[in-house]
Amino acid sequence: MEASVLYDRLDEELAVEDYADVDASANGLQVGSGAGAVDRVAVAVDGVQATFEAAADWDADAMVVHHGLSWGGIDRITGRTYDRVAALVENDIDLYAVHLPLDGHPQYGNAAGLADRLNLGNRAPFGRLGPVTVGQQGWLQQPASPAALHETLEDLLDHGGQGVRLLDFGPEEIESVAILTGSGTDWLDEAVAADVDAYVTGEPEGKLYHMAREAGVNVFLGGHYGTETFGVRALADLIAEWGPETAFLDEPTGL
């Protein structure tokens, strides 16, 4: 598959331009010429030395990651940034990054992937950020206790053995759930306004504890990494349908 065709398809499928004004990430092709053929595409949550080296060992032509290298510009390519860019350039690997568009996508997104695995029905966009959304909300097929949903999330999420934390401040029976992966403290008030019984996110800020307690909502914290493997895995399946061989490079952080 031609590299330019792959990146154009991803840009279009993920509506990258819709997030340009709200995302600090420079979404799209970040490193590489974007020319030539792409036969092997590695996907990973984080664009870091470990995943770049694993991609090189797998002989990847390109990488698609959720967390890339450029967040509002790179002033100098030195130190850690140099090492990461060198690992890509020396092994002739393109880097394509997609951040918030992959959080909010209704089919391939991180929240959508977790909602699929929880079998949520009556789903709707959640997590307003300007003109776009970065999460989903819906209803469990069968009500669950906080303990039961906690156990389900422990089984579903790649939390690196650190487990899922539960702030058990909400109803004893959970029917409705809002999901915003990664760092979602700033959207708790939207979850409360939506009158959901539970809010699932990745990592908290310190203020989240009392916000959840005062609002009377159950909050599940599955880790930033643990809640954000779904999107790149979905993209691996999509890209494979287009022709290239794909592989998911798992580097859990436990955070």
Asked if 87 and 122 sit in the same domain, the reply is no
Asked if 94 and 134 sit in the same domain, the reply is no
Classify residue 244: in a domain, yes or no. Answer: yes
Classify residue 176: in a domain, yes or no. Answer: yes
Mean pLDDT confidence for 108-116: 98
What is the structure's pLDDT at 74? 84
Residue ranges of the binding site for a divalent metal cation: 66-67, 103, 224, 228
Instruction: Using alpha carbons, select from 81, 82, 80, 93 the residue that is nearest to residue 52.
Output: 93
Asked if 158 and 239 sit in the same domain, the reply is no
What is the structure's pLDDT at 109? 98
Q: Which domain holds residue 124?
A: 103-221
Mean pLDDT confidence for 40-62: 98
Asked if the model's pLDDT at residue 72 lies above 90, the reply is no
Asked if 241 and 206 sit in the same domain, the reply is no
Classify residue 253: in a domain, yes or no. Answer: no
Q: How many CA atoms lie within 13 A of 124 on its CB side?
A: 11
Residue ranges of the binding site: 66-67, 103, 224, 228
% of the chain exceeding 90 in pLDDT: 96
Mean pLDDT confidence for 34-53: 97
Number of helices (H), then strands (E), belonging to the chain: the values are: 9, 11
Asked if the model's pLDDT at residue 106 lies above 90, the reply is yes
Classify residue 132: in a domain, yes or no. Answer: yes
Type of residue at 233: R
Asked if 80 and 95 sit in the same domain, the reply is yes
Instruction: Tell how strand 198-201 and strand 218-221 pair up.
Output: parallel
pLDDT tens figures, 160-173:
889 999 999 999 99
Maximal CA-CA distance, the chain: 56
Asked if 149 and 41 sit in the same domain, the reply is no
What is the structure's pLDDT at 67? 98
What is the structure's pLDDT at 153? 98
Asked if the model's pLDDT at residue 175 lies above 90, the reply is yes
Asked if 59 and 131 sit in the same domain, the reply is no
pTM of the model: 0.95
Residues 6+ apart with CB under 8 A from 62: 3, 6, 32, 38, 40, 41, 42, 93, 94, 95, 96
Residues 6+ apart with CB under 8 A from 162: 223, 254, 255
Asked if the model's pLDDT at residue 73 lies above 90, the reply is no
Asked if 169 and 64 sit in the same domain, the reply is no
pLDDT tens figures, 4-34:
999 999 999 999 999 999 999 999 999 999 9
Type of residue at 143: P
When divided into structural domains, the chain yields a total of 2
Q: Which residues pair with 135 in a beta bridge?
A: 126
Asked if 111 and 58 sit in the same domain, the reply is no
CATH number at residue 94: 3.40.1390.30
What is the structure's pLDDT at 7? 98
Asked if the model's pLDDT at residue 56 lies above 90, the reply is yes
